[in-house]
Structure 1
């Protein structure tokens, strides 16, 4: 085990030298107490070993390291167990999907390891347990039925929408690393909230335009718990309720921002759309945080369907666009906070929530948002305790799409999307996208017995700036911005903070950077050869600290000109 004096001021505990779960632990803080790599030593950081999966593209996973073995899921849901000291392959699992028709790029964001089993939720809708020593399948649960993985073709629309195939993005599957809590493996589906989209040449969403056509083209998002030993389903919580999903037709967000809704038009449309909840969307993008003392899990929910076009789903569309707290034993809803009622902009609550203690001792949960704020809530009640200063310049926020085109900032990629936030006990470190999008309502005229179809198209906002920052938010001082540093290219993958005074952050162009946690200044960077698309992690073995990150590009790299890759790059100080 690690030589504690080299790693921690005050000595290391075994659990701190491992990285046993996504986000490091159920708090989702992406923070490590390890200190061997610090401000004074990071300049000497070098690659220690590299693992190449052999499958190129969209490598977004954060590894897990327990007792000297590093477990990693790769593109297309393959899994590898590696010697965490050398990268030597101990075993591999090759996934054989039931269908090639999946939602979006073939990315996967990590595994969970507990009780001698490695758990993975797959793109083709399965939850799988592997033996941690051999990679043998212990159980394989079909969580999504095969027909739920099929796309829907919108016949007769191709000519009107650029001559490209128009497909339903309602192909349910999984992206998130599972959470193992209270004897359950907990995971939620993606692909529920997209209505229809124009396919790109590769058949994915990369470069394709989401068009948000009105009508019943979505799916109903859900989160489920499976028995960790047997795979039997214990409970399932649906994002869209059968009763009350319209909510109160509110005119402002819960924190007081005007929504500019046409409430009269929505209420007039309500009688014809009473069943909209059945296809109401609400994808679940990332791993919940977990408080064992309260018995609660905390997760963010995605956009309603159809995306960006709301008249065929009148009301607040509960419980989409929410931070929710569920009972870990039953899945019962304890509380919710809806960041964006009746969303028309794609502002999913996508980033994983994280737990923190506020000044004065309040137990809190925080959520970094696409709208450009970090929200902090009381864990037990959901009461809003704090909203940070804006992380971006907001423009026409919540202005509805129009036939003339409405420019809104931020756009559907955020401010803050799915990559995780790191929190060191005082500051949250978050990758922030600055940019605007034009939302345009379009109409396909009635023809051949088919009624008129309306949809919202998202596009470039010409003349608007587009860049990324790594931003530090002081949550112990009212959510003020401590510092913000502009990236040379788009930042991606999320952040890792350590007690060595460092924040690690990846870039689309392949650079992996270490920043001073007090100032944001870059102290070290390394070109990994492909875009950084997964969150970094750190661990220690035999007195040596390592930092690992996946370099596989991301779904936006094709359009930007940067390539994809297949490498997990692991760094350490020279011996």
Structure 2
């Protein structure tokens, strides 16, 4: 049901601002179109943070995979849940103003049920749902204004995936190639922009503990995925205005690159790929390329910047010869038309699951020729890349944030240990950036994965099936760090602090000299931005799943974070929850 409250009308601003964001606000994902996840608020600082206490808690009633980043517009906080329900809350007290209950068209979705947030603009709340819909709600009442079916309920269904569950003898299978949405939408130039996840073919096989992290991601030779895409919808009507497909229809094989664009050897059998190419000319039609997180937007250039995911079939590349353009790339698109302006493919012909997943962020990058308007992205491969926003030229690459091992070594039948694995060094979690110091703050996973090529023998009814299985490498270090990178001075690591458990959700930096970072064991930590020292911790009762935010009302600063567990919590020993926990200093 919907609960309506007249106070919501008075509390509502017109929407996402066209100019600079007020210091007190957090009106969109990343706080503004730069995606910097930085706030200029200073009331909570190094000296006062020790007094931070819960101010109010909102429980969604739905436990698990609570990865949302809330949005605050005026005096109202908007939050979505794992099942795409939405609540509008009084940002001072957590009092419910209204709720929207989503009725999904299908229970078959890609991966775990997670939604990472809404967008608010011009009196509307926009949400992209797991069952493939883009919805506009009245921000004052929660009433549905329009509901656009962007993906058919059956789109992406894979019979191959269903049939293989028994064949592979898995404890349990989660997911297949089914399209839906996870990212918070971007609202820009009167458009609601969002991209699909689930395009990369894969069975996520549970391990004996019921968790996914220790299990396998199976990419099957010849198994079909779907074609990933990003689309823009009219904010007033929901009508689709443009759609950009990740996989290139003409020439997606590219140059059969022997190295990455920054010169790292890929160890590819290019001769074998070229020999296989004639039989796989149409592979781009089902070539994958999910879009995981919200683009950054440069209004002056009229460009949006978004990362693309792995090609399909994942982890097994001979049936998709070539570079597989434009998967595994940071791309710049014209906001008005969706036309590609430039791309930088971090990993041509990926076989390791190194999606460009963490949201890009905008910055001014010092160079020998002066400051350049730039866009940066924290990668799964263990570097932060910095590019010229207008041209895509690589301006800088940070020091490695992890110890890389056998990077880009192909999977083998005997097993290849590679670090990082598919969860990356930096996954979808946002990287915060403080322009005053030129520092980026990233949650970094240190660990290795064993990639094994396996074969299911042929039968009288089907040919042999080859696939790649991934498992956590035994005997290899496995931990997380919060790492500060000095992008203003060549990408050197300033400091790196090991987490008590795996870090999750992403980071928030503030002008109070703090970096907030969550852990899977339920702790929200506040670090000194200069040294990395932990100045404050609070146990939220469940794993931190989403990025923290901060805002201010009536002269009081708040910090809000979702505590519901993360996608890897099952089987980890840490529970799930359903709480949005909001902190403030005592009155």
TM-score by length of 1: 0.96
CA shift in 2, pair 1:181/1:154, >3 Å: closer
CA distance in 1, matches of 2:542, 2:115: 17
CA distance in 2, matches of 1:143, 1:199: 30
Give the superposition deviation at 1:241.
1.3
CA distance in 1, matches of 2:324, 2:454: 22
Equivalent residue for 2:346, pick from 316, 339, 345: 339
Question: Structure 1 residues 207-216 or 237-246, which shifts more?
Answer: 207-216
Equivalent residue for 2:380, pick from 349, 370, 382: 370
Equivalent residue for 2:457, pick from 445, 459, 473: 445
SS in 1 for 2:400: coil
Match of residue 566 from structure 1? 578
Write the mapping of 1:402-421 to structure 2, written as runs, cut at 5 A: 402-421=412-431
CA distance in 2, matches of 1:320, 1:485: 32
Match of residue 41 from structure 1? 48
Deviations 1:309-330 (A, max 9, x none): 0000000000000000000000
CA distance in 2, matches of 1:100, 1:156: 19
- Contact 2:211–2:569 (8 Å) recurs in 1: no
SS in 2 for 1:458: strand
CA distance in 2, matches of 1:165, 1:520: 40
CA shift in 2, pair 1:158/1:78, >3 Å: closer
Match of residue 491 from structure 1? 503
Equivalent residue for 2:477, pick from 452, 455, 465: 465
CA distance in 1, matches of 2:174, 2:580: 33
Give the superposition deviation at 1:153.
4.2
CA distance in 1, matches of 2:501, 2:234: 43
Give the superposition deviation at 1:350.
0.2
- Contact 1:154–1:167 (8 Å) recurs in 2: no
CA distance in 1, matches of 2:166, 2:236: 51
Asked if residue 266 in structure 1 is aligned to residue 278 in structure 2, the reply is no
Write the mapping of 1:59-78 to structure 2, written as runs, cut at 5 A: 59-78=66-85
Asked if residue 256 in structure 1 is aligned to residue 268 in structure 2, the reply is no
- Contact 1:509–1:562 (8 Å) recurs in 2: yes
- Contact 1:152–1:168 (8 Å) recurs in 2: no
- Contact 2:211–2:571 (8 Å) recurs in 1: no
Match of residue 519 from structure 2? 507
SS in 2 for 1:16: coil
CA distance in 2, matches of 1:357, 1:56: 40
Deviations 1:482-541 (A, max 9, x none): 000000000000000000000000000000000000000000000000000100000000
Aligned residues: 563
CA distance in 1, matches of 2:21, 2:335: 27
Question: Structure 1 residues 527-536 or 207-216, which shifts more?
Answer: 207-216
Give the superposition deviation at 1:198.
3.7
- Contact 2:417–2:451 (8 Å) recurs in 1: yes
Match of residue 404 from structure 2? 394
Give the superposition deviation at 1:451.
1.2
Give the superposition deviation at 1:361.
1.8
Match of residue 182 from structure 1? 189
- Contact 2:109–2:175 (8 Å) recurs in 1: no
Match of residue 318 from structure 2? 311
Give the superposition deviation at 1:71.
0.5
CA distance in 2, matches of 1:155, 1:105: 17
TM-score by length of 2: 0.94
- Contact 1:406–1:440 (8 Å) recurs in 2: yes
Write the mapping of 1:342-361 to structure 2, written as runs, cut at 5 A: 342-359=349-366, 360-361=370-371
SS in 2 for 1:269: helix
Give the superposition deviation at 1:158.
4.2
CA shift in 2, pair 1:471/1:31, >3 Å: same
SS in 1 for 2:274: helix
State the Cα RMSD in Å.
1.6
Asked if residue 525 in structure 1 is aligned to residue 532 in structure 2, the reply is no
SS in 1 for 2:217: coil
Deviations 1:363-383 (A, max 9, x none): 000010000000000000000
CA distance in 2, matches of 1:103, 1:199: 15
- Contact 1:124–1:149 (8 Å) recurs in 2: no
CA distance in 1, matches of 2:432, 2:409: 31
- Contact 2:210–2:570 (8 Å) recurs in 1: no
- Contact 2:156–2:199 (8 Å) recurs in 1: no
Asked if residue 422 in structure 1 is aligned to residue 432 in structure 2, the reply is yes
Give the superposition deviation at 1:164.
5.1
CA distance in 1, matches of 2:511, 2:162: 56
Match of residue 16 from structure 2? none
CA distance in 2, matches of 1:218, 1:168: 12
- Contact 1:105–1:206 (8 Å) recurs in 2: no
CA distance in 1, matches of 2:70, 2:162: 42
Give the superposition deviation at 1:163.
5.0
CA distance in 2, matches of 1:14, 1:286: 21
CA distance in 2, matches of 1:470, 1:198: 29
CA shift in 2, pair 1:14/1:366, >3 Å: closer
CA distance in 2, matches of 1:436, 1:203: 20
- Contact 1:60–1:533 (8 Å) recurs in 2: yes
Asked if residue 431 in structure 1 is aligned to residue 443 in structure 2, the reply is yes
Give the superposition deviation at 1:453.
1.2
Deviations 1:178-210 (A, max 9, x none): 000000000000000124444689999676532
CA distance in 1, matches of 2:537, 2:159: 45
Match of residue 285 from structure 1? 292
Equivalent residue for 1:172, pick from 163, 172, 179: 179
Match of residue 5 from structure 1? none
Give the superposition deviation at 1:149.
5.1
- Contact 2:214–2:471 (8 Å) recurs in 1: no
Match of residue 81 from structure 1? 88
CA shift in 2, pair 1:75/1:202, >3 Å: farther
Give the superposition deviation at 1:150.
3.3
- Contact 2:210–2:571 (8 Å) recurs in 1: no
